Structure 1
Amino acid sequence: MLLLRLALLCSALLPAALLAAPQDFGRAKVEARQHVYHDRNEIGDAYCGCTWQWAGRSGGRVDLAGCGYRIRAQPNRAQRIEWEHIVPASSFGRQRQCWQQGGRAHCTATDPVFSAMEADLHNLTPVVGEVNADRSNYDFGMLPGVPPRHGQCDVRVDFAGRTMQPPAAFRGQIARTYFYMADRYDLRLAPAQQRLLMAWHRQHPVSAWERERNQRIQVRMGHGNLFVTGEREWQLHHRNSREGLISSLPSATTPPVSAQPAPAHGNRNSRIYHLPDCPGYTAMADRNRVLFTSAAAAEAAGYRKALNCP
């Protein structure tokens, strides 16, 4: 705890630009494993309480038998840990203009606000992959008439109604994460959704782990979730602080699209980018491809040029 307090003090003294906040979703998962959830794999994931063994840079192999989990439909994803956006990427992405112009890949490549939201550690949690898939981008809600379909994992999913009921122990954290994301990035929440989240916030106070998690993330990102610390309270029709917004509008001197450099294709796994005249420009899988407007933009994001490029 002494080391954590010293780290928090240092983070308060450093400018935000000097802090090690992750710049993209791939890096955020690694940061979350190394600095936030490194000792939580034997405690269990947020949805099912399943423990796991870390594997690779940010993944894990789930002990399904140990938590009484029953595979519903996807054995491969059920056996691995994945990183869940508590507020789904599509939910905050659809409120950005970039999503209308090309979906998630276009937002990742062109919109720094979307990239910040996608990599925000406060919004990430490790979960059983099949449950991550079944939740999809559904809203959270109460489903008293829907039976559980994942063994002893206490989640319920209404696929037709596109709704998921999370376990009671996780509902307070979900609410405070939604408040944080909406407040920081100026997201819209429907009044009915606000009322449900406000009820969950009251019914499920901040736990010791949620408080510890918030402190760990604050060290990495330079700011905490004020709805966890109690410094900020959500009210119906809350007025958002918009503290996470930065301008994504082009300047008056931005050249027309036809004069822009050819786009670069980055591989989110290898952190290598290819240009149109590189052999691997179209070879990578869509799920690994990150689009950049130029080689300079790719390098600014921490990617390096492929060695087989001319």
Structure 2
Amino acid sequence: MSNAARSIGLLLFFAALQVFAAPQTFEQAKIEARQFVYYDQTQAGTFYCGCNWQWAGQSGGRVDLKSCGYKTRSQVSRATRTEWEHVVPASNIGRARQCWQKGGRPNCNKTDLVFNAMEADLHNLTPSVGEVNADSANFRFGVLPATPKRHGACDFKVDFKGRVAEPRDEVKGQIARIYFYMHDRYDMRLSRQQQQLLMAWDKRFPISDWERERDKRIASRMGHSNPFVTGERRWTLNHKNTADGIVSKIPTSHPASLVKKAGASTGKIRGNRNSRVYHLPSDCPSYDAIKPKNIIEFSSVAEAQSTRFRKAGNYR
């Protein structure tokens, strides 16, 4: 694919993100994960430990340590709060992008739209006890039969020296299918050893009712499901990635000369993700003043209002 075609594909891809109101930053993703995915799951348990929590602030939570027999290993403040865990670590995502080599995460956030989409992908986010999020770091997954638990009754094991973590059985299958999704969609490499382990977990630990419901909720925001949850795709050894999240296929009925940049006027109702205000394409002086990165487009006023956007007050 030529650079020009790839650029056009990227523009189409991010225009599609705006239509579906998919989060385009990690900060926004955390808020949407609370509002639209996990809003009623505080008694269902955090990802690795199964602890209950109470919401606090826009996207955070306070962990009920007694509910899961959790014991703090070393970080008291992080043990008592939830954090949004990237199941596929953000550093692993970053290393797949050239921007990471030139300044790490801050540089990627400033310069790479694809990295921001990867970092904000709701399919890869789960609520976790903060200390466990820290202890899991960017370690690979494995089986640790001789390693003791370090967090009380929390069934999560970590070998710091070997940089290996083993989660509880209840989430192993979900982890596998999230890994398959992220590596397939964003064209990331997965070692043969990790492929074999995750394929075994995928087979042994089938999709739960909550995993299916979670996928449906996320799809309503992202505009697409995890195909390894819906059954549309299966991972086999040395899987060939689709790279759907890197470029979007260019429709033959839309030549390059007709493709508009994301943020160009489309005649749709336009929301500002910062102010949570929506603007109509006519009679609104601020319609074309919104920064492209802050634009969300809606097909109707009802759709804008259903996501808690309010009408701008500066119409002529």
Per-residue CA deviations over 1:161-216 (Å, capped at 9, x if unaligned) read: 11110000100000000000011000000001100000000000000000000000
Percent identical residues: 60
Say whether residues 1:28 and 2:20 are aligned partners: no
Give the equivalent residue in structure 2 for 1:231: 232
Task: Identify the residue that residue 292 of structure 2 maps to in structure 1.
Answer: 300
Spell out, residue by residue over 1:101-151, the C-alpha distance to the aligned partner (whole angstroms, 9 max, x if none).
000110111011100100000000000000001001111111111000100
CA distance in 2 between counterparts of 1:127 and 1:15 reads: 30
Give the equivalent residue in structure 2 for 1:277: none
Task: Provide the residue aligned with 2:164 in structure 1.
Answer: 163
Residue 53 of structure 1: aligned partner? 54
Indicate the residue corresponding to 1:95 in structure 2: 96
Aligned match of 1:62: 63
Runs of 4+ in 1 over 2 A off after TM superposition: 14-17, 298-303
| Structure 1 position 17, deviation (Å) | 3.7
Alignment of 1:102-113 (within 5 A): 102-113=103-114
Alignment-mate amino acid for residue 78 of structure 2: R
Secondary structure of 1:61's counterpart equals: strand
Question: What code does the residue aligned with 1:197 have?
Answer: L
Query: Where does residue 180 of structure 2 map in the other structure?
Result: 179
CA distance in 2, matches of 1:18, 1:300: 13
Q: Is the 8 A contact 1:82 1:127 kept in 2?
A: yes
TM-score, structure 1 length as denominator?
Answer: 0.76
Q: Tell me if structure 2 keeps the 8 A contact 1:112–1:246.
A: no
**1:42 offset after TM fit, Å?**
1.2
The answer for the alignment partner of 2:127 in structure 1 is 126
Q: Point out where structure 1 has 5 or more consecutive residues left out of the alignment.
A: 1-13, 248-270, 273-297, 304-310
State the AA in 1 paired with 2:130.
Answer: G
Secondary structure class of the residue paired with 2:221: helix
The alignment status of 1:137 with 2:138, answered yes or no, reads: yes
Pairing of 1:199-278 with structure 2 (within 5 A): 199-246=200-247
Report how far residue 245 of structure 1 moved: 0.2
CA spacing shift, 1:242–1:64, aligned 2, 3 Å: same
The answer to whether the 8 Å contact 1:62/1:128 transfers is yes
Residues 66-109 of structure 1: per-residue CA shift (max 9 Å, x gap): 21100000000000000000000101111111000000110111
Determine the C-alpha separation between the residues in 2 that align with 1:183 and 1:15.
Answer: 19
Amino acid of the structure 1 residue aligned with 2:240: R
Aligned residues: 243
Match of 1:261 in 2: none
Shift, 1:15, TM fit: 5.5
Aligned to 1:38: 39
Work out the CA distance in 1 between the residues paired with 2:168 and 2:34: 23
When residues 27 and 16 of structure 1 are mapped into structure 2, their CA distance, relative to the original with a 3 A threshold, is closer
Aligned equivalents of 2:240 and 2:98: distance in 1?
21
Q: Which residue of 1 aligns with 2:148?
A: 147
The answer to whether the 8 A contact 1:53-1:61 is kept is: yes
**Does the CA contact (< 8 Å) of 1:83 and 1:125 recur in 2?**
yes
Instruction: Give unpaired runs (5+ residues) of structure 2.
Output: 1-14, 249-273, 276-289, 296-316
Q: Secondary structure at the match of 1:125?
A: strand
CA distance in 1 between counterparts of 2:70 and 2:145 reads: 20
C-alpha displacement of 1:302: 3.0
User: What is residue 251 of structure 2 aligned with on the other side?
Assistant: none
Q: Which residue type is aligned with residue 42 of structure 1? A: Q
Aligned to 2:194: 193
Any idea what the Cα deviations from partners look like across 1:228-255, whole Å, max 9, x if unmatched? Answer: 01110000000100100049xxxxxxxx
Higher relative contact order (CA 8 A, sep 6+): 2
Shift of 1:20: 1.1
Q: 1:31 to 1:64 in 2, by over 3 A?
A: same
Kindly tell me: are residues 175 and 126 of structure 1, through their superposed partners in 2, closer, same or farther at Cα, counting changes over 3 Å?
Answer: same
Shift of 1:54: 0.1
Cα distance in 2, alignment partners of residues 138 and 196 from structure 1: 14
Cα RMSD, aligned residues only: 1.9
> With structure 2 as the length reference, what TM-score do the two structures score?
0.74
Secondary structure of the 1:301 match is: helix
How far is the alpha carbon of 1:46 from its aligned partner? Answer: 1.2
Q: Which amino acid aligns with 2:91?
A: S
